[in-house]
């Protein structure tokens, strides 16, 4: 979505609260908020929750859905795999189409399995194929730790030195986020060395939304595989993985997708790879054709089912998967384009309210261009960052802190309101101005 699409006109200071209340009153997605259980403090005071980029709130429907599976376990025992209203053997299958719609994929290109980092490891087994000439991996500076750890471990497992094999895309001096043209130039100049490009959809630290379409095209032009960690992009940005020709992607579902702590993760494998049974992979029985899966040891060799499902290892964790259904139903009903439009206005409003904070005290790390960010704004605090964060929490505002000096705030369009943004910004302005 372009910056022009997300352009907003804000009122002057005197009309801010009235404007916020008016936006909430006319919000066509206001019904979404009532579908979530909103957190309260120990004294029962409602919290201003701006931490959906770390853990999304619980949809109200989750209690019923999880209780149904507990009841099925209680009533059926092992026979619940094939009996009951939602047999566990095929429990994951109805969740795949809405997830595919959410990330812009064909249903056969998506699997729900494992955790994010496990899926990244599985993808690198298949798609990191180093040769003597082309063996390096491109990641970004300040990558999420699991990504950098996983990449380094795959290099070491192949007897390669991560100090030489990891190429790091960095912002320009004095800047906080990547420029697409700089990554493209890096791929053009060093592409012959690079086997794999592994970048985020949204960079977790800065909140930058990367141009995945352009970066995929540049990676392929350089002869490299293009993979993405979508932990902060799924449910936050409009994605078109199939159309963009992304090779693979992985994401968690407990952030913007609101499926609960440790919930099952998602994985995308482009159709052209999913139809190739000869791609090397780590295999498990759940990746077999479902029609023959229960032949167990009578299957003399592993024959992967076509599509991303062929990378599955084990039967799905039902209790870690059940909440996802409640959340995906809300995304389907609201529609990601409408959520993205509201997100641009919510986050833009927060950025506008905090625009005139003293830059020597606090500065925005996230791109100012609304089309180059999602829900999250990251602020670097020059002194007393932890103390400022703790005081925000005492004032009932929940964001998150990234050492040593960054506070992240993420107004999520499914459950945050413009008036909440106005209130939180007022507290932060007061604290920073009074310091």
Q: What is the dihedral of CA 218, 222, 227, 232, to 10 degrees?
A: -30
Which pLDDT score, from 0 to 100, does residue 9 have? 59
DSSP string, 116-157: HHHHHHHHHHHH----SSS-EEEEETT--HHHHHHHHHHHHH
> Residue length, the chain?
435
Work out the average pLDDT over 162-174.
Answer: 97
Q: Could you tell me the CA-to-CA distances from 101 to 20, 105, 124, 333 in Å, in that order?
A: 31, 6, 24, 12
At residue 56, does pLDDT exceed 90?
yes
Task: Tell me which of 425 and 13 has the higher pLDDT.
Answer: 425
Angle ∠(87,92,95) on CA atoms, nearest 5: 120
Q: How many CB atoms lie within 10 A of CB 333?
A: 12
**Spans of all domains in the chain:** 13-37+335-433, 73-331
Q: Enter the tokens of residue 31.
A: 């019904």
The SS3 assignment for 167 reads strand
Question: Is residue 88's pLDDT more than 70?
Answer: yes
**C-alpha span between 412 and 435 (Å, rounded):** 28
Q: What is the mean pLDDT of residues 182-191?
A: 98
Task: Compute CA distances 277 → 121, 126, 280, whole Å.
Answer: 18, 11, 8
* DSSP character string of 293-320: GGGGGG--S--BPSSGGGG--S---HHH
Which pLDDT value is given to residue 220?
98
Per-residue confidence (pLDDT) for residue 16, from 0 to 100: 87
pTM of the model: 0.95
**13-37+335-433: what fold?**
3.90.1150
Provide the pLDDT for residue 1: 39
Distance, C-alpha 151 to centroid of its chain: 19
Tokens of 82: 């094939």
Question: Could you tell me if 175 and 211 are in contact, meaning their C-beta atoms sit under 8 angstroms apart?
Answer: no
pLDDT tens column, 395-425: 999 999 999 999 999 999 999 999 999 999 9
- d(C-alpha 122, C-alpha 143), whole Å: 19
Contact 194, 353 (CB under 8 A): no
78 Cβ partners below 8 Å, 6+ apart?
Answer: none
User: What pLDDT is attached to residue 354?
Assistant: 95
Are 392 and 48 contacting, i.e. CB atoms less than 8 angstroms apart? no
Write down the pLDDT at residue 332. Answer: 97
Query: What pLDDT band is residue 8 in, cutting at 50, 70 and 90?
Result: low
Percent of the chain whose predicted confidence (pLDDT) is above 70: 97
Spatial CA neighbour of 365 closest among 384, 352, 381: 381
Least reliable range by pLDDT among 22-36, 91-105, 144-158, 283-297: 283-297
pLDDT score, position 149: 98
Instruction: Give the gyration radius of the chain's Cα atoms.
Output: 22
Q: Is residue 206 within 8 Å of 172, Cβ to Cβ?
A: no
pLDDT at site 12: 58
Residue 18 has pLDDT above 60, yes or no: yes
Sorted by sequence, the CB contacts under 8 Å of residue 358 that are 6+ apart come out as 432, 433
3-state secondary structure of 68: helix
CA distance 206 to 177: 7
DSSP H or E segment with residue 322: helix 318-334
Cα gap 16→425, rounded to integer Å: 11
Which numeric CATH code is attached to 73-331?
3.40.640.10
pLDDT over threshold 60, residue 243: yes
Return d(Cα 266, Cα 115) in angstroms, integer. Answer: 8
Confidence (pLDDT) at 13: 64
Give the per-residue pLDDT at 291.
Answer: 82
Residue identified by tokens 């259904």 is 325
143-152, 235-244, 287-296: the lowest-pLDDT one: 287-296
Please count the other Cβ atoms lying within 10 Å of the Cβ belonging to residue 276.
Answer: 13
pLDDT of residue 3: 40
Q: Which two tokens stand for residue 84?
A: 């009951």
Q: Is the pLDDT of residue 168 over 70?
A: yes
First to last CA, the chain: 37
Neighbours of 100 (CB within 10 A): 21
pLDDT band at 264 (very low <50, low <70, confident <90, very high): very high
| Buried residues in 209-220 as b, exposed as e (16+ CB within 10 A) | bbbbeebbbbbb
Averaged confidence pLDDT in the chain: 95
Q: Look up residue 48 and give its two tokens.
A: 């201003």
């Amino acid at each position: 979505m372009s910056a022009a699409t997300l352009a907003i006109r804000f009122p002057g200071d005197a009309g801010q609260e009235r404007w916020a209340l008016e936006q909430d009153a006319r919000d066509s997605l206001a019904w979404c908020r009532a579908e979530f259980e909103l957190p309260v403090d120990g004294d029962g005071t409602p919290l201003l929750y701006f931490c959906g980029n770390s853990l999304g709130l619980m949809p109200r429907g989750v209690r019923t859905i999880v209780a149904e599976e507990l009841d099925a376990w209680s009533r059926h025992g092992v026979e619940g795999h094939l009996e009951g209203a939602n047999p566990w053997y095929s429990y994951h299958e109805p969740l795949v189409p809405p997830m595919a719609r959410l990330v812009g994929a064909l249903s056969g290109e998506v699997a729900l399995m494992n955790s994010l980092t496990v899926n990244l490891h599985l993808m690198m087994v298949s798609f990191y194929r180093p040769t003597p000439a082309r063996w390096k991996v491109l990641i970004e500076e300040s990558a999420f730790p699991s990504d950098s750890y996983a990449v380094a471990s795959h290099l070491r497992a192949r007897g390669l030195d991560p100090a030489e094999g990891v190429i790091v895309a960095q912002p320009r001096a004095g800047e906080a986020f990547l420029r697409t043209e700089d990554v493209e130039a890096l791929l053009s100049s060093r592409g012959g060395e690079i086997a794999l490009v592994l970048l985020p959809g949204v960079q977790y630290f800065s909140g930058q939304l990367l141009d995945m379409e352009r970066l995929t095209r540049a990676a392929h032009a350089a002869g490299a595989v293009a993979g993405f960690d979508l932990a902060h992009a799924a449910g936050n940005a409009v994605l078109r993985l199939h159309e963009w020709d992304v090779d693979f992607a992985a994401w968690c579902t407990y952030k913007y997708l609101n499926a609960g702590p440790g919930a099952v993760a998602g994985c995308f494998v482009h159709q052209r790879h999913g139809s190739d049974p000869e791609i090397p992979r780590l295999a498990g029985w759940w990746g077999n054709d479902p029609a023959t899966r229960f032949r167990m040891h009578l299957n003399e060799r592993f024959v992967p089912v076509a599509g991303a499902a062929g990378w599955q290892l084990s039967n799905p964790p039902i209790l870690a998967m059940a909440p996802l259904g409640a959340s995906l139903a809300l995304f389907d009903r609201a529609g990601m384009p409408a959520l993205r439009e509201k997100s641009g206005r919510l986050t833009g409003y927060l950025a506008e309210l905090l625009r005139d904070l003293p830059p020597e005290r606090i500065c925005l790390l996230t791109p100012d261009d609304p089309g180059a960010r999602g829900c999250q704004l990251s602020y670097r605090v020059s002194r007393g960052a932890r103390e400022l964060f703790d005081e925000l929490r005492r004032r009932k505002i929940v964001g998150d802190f990234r050492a040593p000096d960054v506070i992240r705030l993420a107004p999520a369009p499914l459950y945050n309101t413009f008036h909440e943004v106005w209130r939180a910004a007022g507290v932060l302005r007061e604290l920073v101005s009074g310091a």
